[in-house]
Amino acid sequence: MTMSYPGAHDRIFLDFIAAGELRLPFDPATGQALGLHRRRAAAEWRPAAGTGTVLSFTVTRRQYAAAFPVPLVHGLIALDEGPTLIARILGAAPAEVSAGMPVRAGFDSHGLWFGPCQARVAEEPSHAAA
């Protein structure tokens, strides 16, 4: 549970997210995307397609933070480029979320979220998308 301080790698990723863009580090030698745990100064940050697959998901029912009303759905998302990350899933009721579901990235005031590929999601969807 120990947090360390964000370094350049973390700031680059978060700054792109703040600008409404999902970018991933790529190895310039191989052209392959790097997992976000790797910290390589030589990485090239390229735009991601923003599409992926839900590997797993959770539904938070206990309210931990006022900014995140419950029920709050998160997915472990495998991006099509290969890296994984955890992010909110909006635009689907908790019961509609399943492993294997294709999702697409969107942005709101908290930053990145994912929703079902086919779903029509408003610009600022409710977090309690139940």
Q: 63 or 122: whose CB is closer to another protein?
A: 63
Report in angstroms how near the CB of residue 119 gets to another protein at its nearest.
19
DSSP designation for 96: G
Q: What are the tokens at 59?
A: 């539904």
Report in angstroms how near the CB of residue 113 gets to another protein at its nearest.
8
Report in angstroms how near the CB of residue 35 gets to another protein at its nearest.
3
Output the CA torsion sign for 105, 109, 111, 114.
negative
- Tell me which residues touch another protein (CB under 8 A): 1-7, 9-10, 13-14, 17, 34-38, 55-62, 64-65, 67-68, 72, 74, 76, 78, 82-88, 94, 98-100, 110-112
Instruction: Give the burial class of 7: count Cβ atoms within 10 A of its Cβ; 0-12 exposed, 13-18 middle, 19 or more buried.
Output: exposed
Q: What are the tokens at 18?
A: 């703040």
Q: 76 or 121: whose CB is closer to another protein?
A: 76
